[in-house]
Amino acid sequence: MSELVKDLEHIIWSYLAIPILLFVSLIFTFYFQGVQFRFKKMIQCLTKKSSNSSVSSFQSFTMALAARVGVGSLAGVALGIYIGGPGSVFWMWISALITAAASFVESTLAQLYKKRDGDIYIGGPAYYIEYGMHQKGFAVIYAFIIVLTYTFGFSAIQANTIATSFRDVLSIPPLLTGVGLALITSMIIFGGASTIAKMTSKIVPIMALFYIGIGLFVMITHFDYIPTFFMTIFQDAFQPSPLIGGTVMYTIIIGIKRGVFSNEAGMGSGAHAAAVTNSDNPTDQGYIQSFGVYVTTLFICTITAFLIMVTNAVEVGTTHSNGIELTQYALTELFGPIGGVILAISIFFFAFSTILTGYFYGECNVKYLCKNEKILYPVRVIVLIVILISSIGSASLIWSLVDLGVALTATINVMALCYLAKEVKVIMNKKRS
């Protein structure tokens, strides 16, 4: 069963989701005249105060960043380098620069088709697929997969990773970690979307600054390696994979896949966070979420790549590597025994914030599927049970199922973006006139 799911996931990602996403994003880059490169505009929108909104633009930015900067930024990058070589990092960067255009479109559409929900707004692909494309069937399918993938799947994976890390580094029993994690999560998710937004706006800056600080310290103390780091990446970008051989296309596919996984641009997930605030102009959230793509891939993932490459951690990898042990080896080499503690702290921040945001994305789609909000209480209880059980179990099959679910939602979302892109173009033209 596990192998079948993995094969199916690989086929959909490699031959459907990634090619379509890249092709469409490249078209958007020209169609919107390089909108994802307007960095000054991104900063202006990020610092602008939103009118009549209980969730600020910065809070919606950190909410989406919380989902993007998950364990994949620690383990996924390491695994990408192990399988595809250092050159895969180059293609991660390229994928971020291209797919940020798709992030702009989906986030702008989220603002266009958001719905009022108490003191906040909710929205996302299910909303603009139904009310923009008038395809309720696809909207229901998308919403259902998101609930399974993000609300339950991601919660299980992140909880399992936290519990495993705490067990290996801090010798804390997984069951104890699961109980504590479930209790903390319950106090936040039962407070609603506003509470989640406020919490992620506090957690994300701390976790980002902590990890970036670690990375900058290592770069400064290994300053002489920086030219070699970039030179190796650029040279290997056009070399066959060191692990599986073949042609350079394997290196490109691995790098792009890791990049798409890290920043989630074009998958539609970031659109849920983009909808929660009431921006003065719908495109403001487009610029903000595009900036989040760069923070994730060009900063966080690059730091992980530097840690791996400066210590040559790939040498400890095996065919069963999941990436996190490579990052642990790198930090231990750099900081000694305290490196494991640094990793455990990083994993907690990265994974816990992903649990919170993943739940919120699911809640938006549960509300779309069922207008009776009483359904949210059993959903929250199930999430807590999933966190508890997954803390003491294995998440290998869940990883493959989640990857498959994300690939399907990405494919559906990109089709919607193509259909509705002209509406985003109209808004941009109106603002210029």
The CATH number assigned to the domain holding 75 equals: 1.20.1740
Is 24 part of any domain? yes
Cβ neighbours, 10 Å, residue 187: 11
In whole angstroms, give the CA distance from residue 276 to residue 116: 9
Looking at residue 50, the DSSP 8-state letter turns out to be P
Is 35 part of any domain? yes
* Angle of CA points 371, 372, 374, to nearest 5°: 145
Is 183 part of any domain? yes
What type of residue sits at position 371? K
Is 427 part of any domain? no
pLDDT of residue 126: 93
Sorted by sequence, the CB contacts under 8 Å of residue 75 that are 6+ apart come out as 161, 322, 323, 324, 326, 327
Number of domains in the chain: 1
Strand partners, 115: 122
pLDDT of residue 428: 84
pLDDT of residue 107: 93
Is 431 part of any domain? no
Q: Quick one: which of 270, 262, 260 has its CA closest to 108? A: 270
Tokens 């973006």 correspond to 417
In whole angstroms, give the CA distance from residue 304 to residue 259: 13
Q: Report the first-to-last Cα separation within the chain, whole angstroms.
A: 56
What type of residue sits at position 114? K
What angle, rounded to 10 degrees, do the helices at 174-189 and 155-170 form? 140
Is 429 part of any domain? no
Is 425 part of any domain? no
Token pair in block for residue 180: 């504590």
Looking at residue 244, the DSSP 8-state letter turns out to be T
Cβ neighbours, 10 Å, residue 432: 5
Is 428 part of any domain? no
- Residue 200's domain spans which residues? 2-420
Please give the average pLDDT of every successive group of 10 residues along the chain, which has 433 residues: 71 81 92 91 80 68 77 79 86 92 93 83 91 92 90 85 84 90 88 74 80 91 94 86 62 78 82 82 89 89 92 72 77 88 85 85 88 83 89 72 82 92 87 56
Strand partners, 116: 121
Tokens 């919660």 correspond to 155
